[in-house]
């Protein structure tokens, strides 16, 4: 069974602070994919990153970075020097390459509020 846990329901930080959003996943599949999505107040789901289970290389994209550790089944997301525009709900999600059953499983989301 697939499961994604985002233990942090809500986080508030002051602008320019760094913040890390935690994501822990469970799966029995050996090939799987992890994603982060951002959902701003306007409601759309914005794709941020995907990672496959064979690639544990960490990634940095501007102020965003991701730390994938298979040993702890975690895929954490860090925003450096946060900005007000980062305020949103962030979802971690998991999928596996199974025939006919490769839908996304979402965590419950973390609501990030960046205070100016």
Partner 1 sequence: AAGVIQSPRHLIKEKRETATLKCYPIPRHDTVYWYQQGPGQDPQFLISFYEKMQSDKGSIPDRFSAQQFSDYHSELNMSSLELGDSALYFCASSRVGQVQYGYTFGSGTRLTVV
- Chain contacts with partner 1 (rule: CB under 8 A): 33, 35, 37, 43-45, 47, 50, 52, 91, 95-97, 100-109
What is the signed CA dihedral for 43, 78, 34, 29, rounded to 10 degrees? -140
Report, in Å, the least distance between residue 84 CB and partner 1: 22
Please, which residue, 31 or 72, has the CB nearer to partner 1?
Answer: 31
Picking from 63, 87, 77, the residue whose alpha carbon sits closest to that of residue 10 is: 87
Our CB check for partner 1 shows the closer of 18 and 97 to be 97
The token pair that represents 29 in the structure block: 């599949």
Is residue 72 within 8 A of residue 59, CB to CB? The reply is no
Tell me whether residue 80 or residue 104 sits nearer to partner 1 (CB atom). 104
């Amino acid at each position: 069974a697939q499961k994604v846990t985002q233990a942090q329901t809500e986080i508030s930080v002051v602008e320019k602070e760094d913040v890390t959003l935690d994501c822990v996943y469970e799966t029995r599949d050996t090939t799987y994919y992890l994603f982060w999505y951002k959902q701003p107040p306007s409601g759309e789901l914005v794709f941020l990153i995907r990672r496959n289970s064979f690639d544990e290389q960490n990634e940095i994209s501007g102020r965003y970075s991701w730390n994938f550790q298979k040993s702890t089944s975690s895929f954490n997301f860090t925003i450096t020097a946060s900005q007000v525009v980062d305020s949103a709900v962030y979802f971690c999600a998991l999928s596996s390459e199974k025939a006919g059953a490769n839908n996304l499983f979402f965590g419950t989301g973390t609501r990030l509020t960046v205070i100016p």
